[in-house]
Amino acid sequence: MKDHKNIKTLAQLKSAGYHFKTIKDELRANLIQKLKAKEKVFEGIWGYEETVIPDLERAILAGHDVNLLGLRGQAKTRLARLMVNLLDEYVPVIEGSELNDDPLHPISRYGKDKIHELGDQMPITWLHREDRYTEKLATPDVSIADLIGDVDPIKAASLKLPYSDERVIHFGLIPRSHRCIFVINELPDLQARIQVALFNILQEGDIQIRGFKIRLLLDLQFVFTANPEDYTNRGSIVTPLKDRIDSQIITHYPKSMEVSKKITQQEAYIREEQTQLVSANEIAKDLVEQIAFEARKSEYVDAKSGVSARLTISAYESLIAAAERRSLINHDKNTTVRISDFIGVVPSITGKVELVYEGQQEGPGIVAQNLVGKAIRAQFVNYFPDPDKFRKQKEKSPYKKITHWFGDGNTIDLLHDMTNADYEKSLISVPGLADLINEFQKSADTKHKLFLMEFALHGLAEFSLISKHTLTSGSQFKDLLSSMFNLPKGEDADDEDESDDDEDFGSGKR
C-alpha cells in the first residue's frame, strides 16, 4: 500500500481503502500482474523455465500448498525463498500482536481484545515482505511444541491466569507465521506423529494445543521440500499428509552444459583479487561442469542420492584457489588455470558424492580422479579429432608425431607448482604438440594454447595413446607400452608405485 508510513491507526487504514485478502490471494494477484507484464518471477533460477517454474506458477494461481520433490542441490529452497517477491511489499499488523493479526481480520485473543478496547484508534504497524518468510529444517528432534505451541506455566503464573485460558499458550513457529510463507525442508525426516499434527492446519487451517478448544484460522502458504531418497532410506511422508498437499512439483538437475555453467558462474564466490590474479578459459569451466555430468552417470556414484549443483560451485572455487596458490608460491603477477590445477578439485568431489559399494572399495579420491579423467575424455573430442577413429589408420593420425616421441622413451613431468616459464618450456619440448594446437585451434592466444597443449596430453592419456602416471607433486607422461613393462627408477619410484591404482583411473585404461 502506498504511503503506508502515514497510516498508523485502524481508522486511517479504513479510510485508505484497505481490504483484507489471504496470502494465497496476495501471491496470486501479484503473480498475475507479473505474468501480464512479462516480468521474470523467479530471478536467478536457470533450467526450470519450461518445467518447474510453470508448474509452480500454476500451483500459485490455483492457491495450492506445494511440495518440491527432488534430489539434493536442485534449488528447491531457493525457489521457496523467491516466492517472497510475490508478496505485497508491506501489510498492516495490529501493533503488539505475536500472530501478525490483520487489523480487519484478527484471529488471536489479543487482536480481538485490542479492537474491542480501542476501536478505530487501535495502533497498527507494517510488516515487510522479507519478514513474512519462515523456514524450518525437519529434524528428528522437532516437537509439536516447536511447530504448534504448548502451555507456558511461566506465562500463566506471571499473568495469574488458569491453564484453561487461551492467553497462557506459547505459540510455535506455525501460528507465529500467520500470513507468511512457511517452509519445511526435508519433510520426510519429520517424525510421523509430528506430520499428523499438520493435518488440520493444511485442511481446515486451524490448530489444537493440548486439548484447548481454540480455533485459530491460520492463513499460510505452505511449501515443503523433500528428497525422494528419504522415502526409502530415512523416513517417509505419511499418506494422509501427502493427500493434503495440493501440488507436488518434481525438480531436476540442469539438462545442458550451458545451463549448468550459468548456475555455477552465478553462484561461485570468486574474490576480486582472485579475478585479477587468475583467469579461467571456457574449456576449464566446461570441464568443471562435465565432472558433475560424469558423476551422475558413474557406476561408482549412488544415483539415488544425486550429485548436487553445489559440487560444481565448490569445484570451480577450488580450481581458482589452486591456480591462485600456485601463482602466490611462484610470485606470478597473473596466471591462467591449468589442467594440473584440477588436483584442487578432488576434495570438492569427494565430499559431494555418495559412493556405491564398488566406489567405496576403490576409494573416494580415486573415484574423484576417475571423474576428472572422464570429463577430460568427454570434452577432448569437442576440440580435437576423436583418437578412436585412427586406431586402424595410425599413419593418418594427427597425434602420431607426439606418440612416436614418447615411444622413443621420452617423458615429460608437469608438476602442480611449476612456474609459468617452466610450464611453457616443458610443453613446447614435446614435438608435434604445438603443431596440433595450431592446426585445430588456430584462433587461440598464447596462454590458451599452452592450456590446450596440456589438455591434449591429458586427453591422449585418457584415450590410452600415451601413459599418465600420478606423482606426489604432479603428473608424468610417457609411452604406454614402456610404462607397462618397465619398472620405475630413481627418486620418484616410490611415488609412482604408491599411485599405481590412481594411474589406472587417470590414464584412460579401463
pLDDT of res. 507 = 43
Q: Mapping DSSP to helix (H, G, I), strand (E, B) and coil, where does residue 136 land?
A: strand
Tell me 301's DSSP state: B
Tell me 197's DSSP state: T
pLDDT of res. 483 = 55
- What's the alpha-carbon Rg for the chain, to the nearest Å? 31
pLDDT of res. 502 = 42
Domain ranges of the chain: 4-250, 253-380, 389-510
Which segments within 153-305 are labelled E, that is strand?
169-171, 180-185, 220-226, 247-250, 278-279
pLDDT of res. 500 = 43
Pairing of strands 220-226, 180-185: parallel
CATH topology of domain 4-250: Rossmann fold (3.40.50)
pLDDT of res. 490 = 45
Backbone angles phi, psi at 172, to 5 degrees: -85, -170
CB 155 within 8 A of CB 168: yes
Max Cα-Cα span within the chain = 98
CB 463 within 8 A of CB 508: yes
CB 27 within 8 A of CB 56: no
- 166-to-92, 176, 179, 393 alpha-carbon distances in Å: 24, 15, 20, 87
Task: Give pLDDT tens digits along the chain (510 positions).
Answer: 667 778 999 999 999 999 999 999 999 999 999 999 999 999 999 999 999 999 999 999 999 999 999 998 999 999 999 999 999 999 999 999 999 999 999 998 899 999 999 999 999 999 999 999 999 999 888 988 899 888 777 877 887 877 667 777 888 899 999 999 999 999 998 888 889 888 878 877 777 666 666 677 889 999 999 988 755 545 688 888 999 999 999 999 999 999 999 999 999 999 999 999 999 999 999 999 999 999 999 999 988 888 999 999 999 999 999 999 999 999 999 999 999 999 999 999 998 988 987 777 778 899 999 999 999 999 999 999 999 999 888 888 999 999 999 999 999 999 999 999 999 999 999 999 999 999 999 998 888 999 999 999 999 999 999 999 988 899 999 998 765 555 444 444 444 444 444 444 344 443
Q: Please give the model's pTM, rounded to 2 decimal places.
A: 0.84
Closest CA to 105 of 118, 95, 93: 93
- Please identify which residue in the block is written with the cell numbers 490455483: 62
CATH topology of domain 253-380: Helicase, Ruva Protein; domain 3 (1.10.8)
The residues, any chain, with a CB within 8 Å of residue 158's CB and separated by 6 or more, are: none
Closest CA to 287 of 411, 451, 107: 451
CA–CA dist 437, 440 (Å, integer): 5
Pairing of strands 149-151, 412-415: unpaired
